[in-house]
Copies of this chain bind each other. A is one copy, B any other.
Amino acid sequence: MADTAEFIKDLCTPAFVVDLDVAKRNAAVMLDRFQKLGVQLRPHMKTHKTLECADIMTGGSRRCIVVSTLAEASFYADHGYDDVLYAYPLPRDKVQRCAELCERMALFHVLLDNGPALQELKRRPLKQGKLWRVWMKLDCDNGRAGVLHSEPAALQLAREISETTGVELYGIYAHCGNTYGCKGREQIEAIAQETTTNLLQFMERLKAIGIQGLKSSIGSTPSCSHPVPDMAMLSEVHPGNYVFYDVQQSLIGSCRLEDVAVRVLTRVIGHYPHRNQLLVDSGWAALSQDGGGCLPTGYAVIQGHPELKLTSMTQEHGRVEPVSGPLDFGQFPLGSMFSLIPYHVVQILQR
């Protein structure tokens, strides 16, 4: 880990640091895994929103990515990325900006799960005879966006999209975010299997009504870290968090703790023996409150110090105390540095 490097000790804290070797390894493993399965990896950018990680995750191709906001879409388009899927239920206020992205890029994909959104696309035909490239979002029991895979409305919407002028039904997109409730590989594989089966069966039902040649995609870092063999029958996968991983992913069973590529560096800024506490210069503005302090070590893992707990945070302060017993303050002089492994890495980079 980079915290042994000399320059690290001079950084102003709190500092978010990435071990590029680990991030590159995580990205290479995922690229290799799905290349061998013959499935296109379309990595999600929402975790990091950087060019550097996008380059690492696309293997330098700068093609074939997923984004969750139009700000991300424009950012990547501005920097020469293409074949970008805006994997978010298309809201009417964003149709015009999506149209402009379609018109300026070679491949910009949108996603929808309802008829009114389709009507919005119809009302805004693309210039130069281009077609809206549409993925239909299917809910394979994840319970967030998507037409429920088992409902007749799903087939009906697919048919409507495929019959709408100016629009091309390009693929069916499912997200298995329910893997985040898993504990261990077996549970992850069960949900990966269930999602894949539901999606592939839906593709068969589409074929039966004459809709074929569509792409199919599922995602989530847990399922793509432990893919089941049937996932080889999909066209694409779209995980994102795996480039960094985090403590949450290690608890789910997606990775080992040593695969987590990121740290928040923080310094001891106060000794308070009367309450058996240290203060550090990372609060929720640096680390996020995600996980609600559910770890035995509180809001993060303090690297090399399983005996310490980050018990509470305010905007810029964190309180550290021993898991049990009295704190040996001499071991942690004012100004000394801790390396925190974050519970959920996504939130931090939002700040």
Contacts and interface: CB of A to CB of B under 8 A. Distances in A.
Given A270-B145, A289-B290, A279 B89 contact: yes
A10 B94 CA distance: 10
A144 to B, nearest CB: 6
A135 B84 CA distance: 52
A93 interface: yes
A314 B271 contact: no
Nearest to A71: B12
Given A12-B97, A69-B316, A117 B334 contact: yes
B88 A144 contact: no
Interface in A70-98: 70, 88-89, 91-94, 97
A285 interface: yes
Interface in A178-196: none
A346 interface: yes
Nearest to A10: B93
Interface string A124-142: 0000000000000001000
A263 interface: no
Copies of this chain in the oligomer: 2
B91 A145 contact: no
A162 interface: no
Nearest to A319: B144
A347 interface: yes
Contacts of A267: 91-93
A63 interface: no
A334 B292 CA distance: 32
A238 B143 CA distance: 45
A350 interface: yes
A223 to B, nearest CB: 16
B270 A11 contact: no
Contacts of A10: 93
A315 B177 CA distance: 12
Interface in A105-134: 113-114, 116-117
Contacts of A335: 91-93, 116
30 contacts: A12-B70, A13-B91, A46-B315, A68-B315, A88-B316, A89-B269, A89-B279, A89-B281, A91-B269, A91-B281, A92-B267, A92-B334, A92-B335, A93-B267, A113-B270, A114-B270, A114-B334, A116-B334, A116-B335, A117-B334, A144-B314, A145-B269, A145-B279, A145-B317, A148-B272, A148-B274, A151-B274, A284-B347, A292-B292, A350-B351
Interface of A: 10-13, 46, 68-70, 88-89, 91-94, 97, 113-114, 116-117, 139, 143-145, 148, 151, 177, 267, 269-272, 274-275, 279, 281, 284-285, 289-290, 292, 314-317, 319, 333-335, 346-347, 350-351
